[in-house]
Amino acid sequence: MRISEWGTTPSGETVHRLVLGSAPGAVLHVLTLGATVHRLEVEAGGPRRNIALGHRDPADYLGSSDYIGGTIGRYANRIAGGRTTLDGDELTLGAHDRGNHLHGGPDGFDRRVWEVADAGEDHAVLRLVSPDGDQGFPGTVRAQVTFTVTGHAVGVELEATTDAPTLVNLTSHAYFNLDGDGAGTIDEHRLTVPAERYTPVDATGIPLGDHAPVAGTAFDFRRPAAIGPRVRRDEEQIVLARGIDHNYVVDGEGWRTAAVLESPAAGTRLILRSDQPGLQVYTGNFLDGSRRTAQGGLYRQGDGIALEPQLHPDSPNRPEWPSAVLRPGETYRCRLEWELSAIGR
Ligand code: GLA
């Protein structure tokens, strides 16, 4: 593991970069700002390249609403109107996305500088204390993320505890482009999501009602399909989100494959495994050329895809769905893994 100073936030905090793993295996660059996946170098069938999107400096991360690579908390995805109840108490949460709570609020975990609690050649543990009342959430939450690089795989373990009942739904908002960051769009990537149902949403990204079958829609990725044609289908749910920005109900339970992403051009496959009930698939719909890449270029629509294991959106207002409530004495856990390989091997 190598740790170095990477930059300074506009408010004067130092941001460190940790480098985990070694070639020819995966090499992961993590920033203490947002416990962010900043760069992921792999071979896996193609030439050695970076397959994770990332910005150039702390100000670019903090000036962006794209959540590139960040660790999201306390609550990934949306809560309708930023309002819900917990044990009978009304909560009013930071709501900065078309009137809804999104990804922990205007000052979510992805915007904080995390402390390095432990680090070695192939792993790092980062911690963050979120005070009582943070973004409207009750309880002091202690969050921890562990990144582990093993050969061509990266594991991410997200954990949290609290001193009062609260809501927790953490995820990684890493974006991938298997052809390499800056190599164009993910239109030709083939995606598989083993899910019979997804969650249709309204124009602000809030679930309309219950989950719905993917069969017969642009959202059916039960068999591998190229992404480009799907996000150009004139179907209402695609139009509303300008592509795919939807939550899937991943078939099965427990530790399992949540998605497979392949680039036939690069000859590379990424298998995402997780233990979460839902998977937000976001095809980079709002990347609009206004934010810089780490190389100093600009991100445009579809330049990367985020595959975010998590609970279903607005779950605090949907008691019939898996619960985000965390109580004192309990430990929240979300595990995920990205495994890279050459296609056909
Ligand atoms: C999530 C949301 C999207 C968008 C991206 C970041 O995936 O669901 O609507 O906000 O984050 O831009």
CB contact set of 190 (below 8 Å; sequence gap of 6+): 224, 225, 226, 227, 261, 262, 263, 264
Of 78, 132, 72, nearest to 317 by C-alpha is: 78
Place of tokens 């969650």: 199
Burial class (CB in 10 A: 0-12, 13-18, 19+), 203: exposed
What is d(CA 338, CA 274) in angstroms, rounded to the nearest whole number? 9
Rounded to the nearest whole angstrom, what is the distance from the C-alpha of residue 282 to the centroid of ligand 1? Answer: 7
Atom of ligand 1 nearest to the CA of 67: 6
Establish if 252 belongs to a structural domain. no
> So which residues are the catalytic ones?
173, 308
- With respect to residue 258, please indicate whether it lies within any of the assigned structural domains: no
Q: Give, using CA atoms, the residue closest to atom 4 of ligand 1.
A: 66
Identify whether 74 is part of a domain. yes
pLDDT of residue 233: 98
Q: What is the pLDDT of residue 345?
A: 55
Report yes or no on 236 lying in a domain. Answer: no
Atom of ligand 1 nearest to the CA of 287: 12
Is 220 inside a domain boundary?
no
- Ligand 1, residues 36, 53, 65, 67: which to mutate, most atoms within 8 A of Cβ? 67
Contact (CB, 8 A) for 164 and 342: no
Domain that holds residue 139: 2-185+281-342
Q: What is the pLDDT along the chain (345 residues), one digit of tens a residue?
A: 699 999 999 999 999 999 999 999 999 999 999 999 999 999 999 899 999 999 999 999 999 999 999 999 999 999 999 999 999 999 999 999 999 999 999 999 999 999 999 999 999 999 999 999 999 999 999 999 999 999 999 999 999 999 999 999 999 999 999 999 999 999 999 999 999 999 999 999 999 999 999 999 999 999 999 999 999 999 999 999 999 999 999 999 999 999 999 999 999 999 999 999 999 999 999 999 999 999 989 999 999 999 999 999 999 999 999 999 999 999 999 999 999 999 975
Evaluate whether residue 294 is within a structural domain.
yes
Find the helix or strand (DSSP H, E) in which 273 lies. Answer: strand 268-274
Q: State the Cα–Cα distance between residues 345 and 299, nearest whole angstrom.
A: 32
pLDDT on residue 145: 98
Q: Is residue 57 part of a domain?
A: yes
**Does 191 reside within a domain?**
no
Give distance in angstroms: CA of 168 to centre of ligand 1: 18
Q: How many domains does the chain have?
A: 1
The enclosing domain of 133 has a CATH number of 2.70.98.10
Task: Among 245, 248, 285, say which to mutate for ligand 1: greatest number of ligand atoms within 8 Å of CB.
Answer: 245
Half-sphere exposure of 62 (CA within 13 A, CB side): 17
Q: Tell how far CA 30 is from the center of its chain.
A: 14
Query: pLDDT, tens digit, for every residue of 65-93?
Result: 999 999 999 999 999 999 999 999 999 99
Going 290 to 145 to 315 to 231, the CA torsion angle's sign is positive
Distance (Å, whole) CA 188 – CA 267: 12
Q: Which residues line ligand 1 (CB under 6 A)?
A: 65-67, 102, 205, 245, 280, 282, 286, 306
Going from the Cα of 66 to the center of ligand 1, the distance in angstroms, rounded, reads 7
Residue of 36, 55, 97, 103 to mutate, ligand 1, most atoms within 8 A of C-beta: 103
- The helix/strand/coil state of 41 is strand
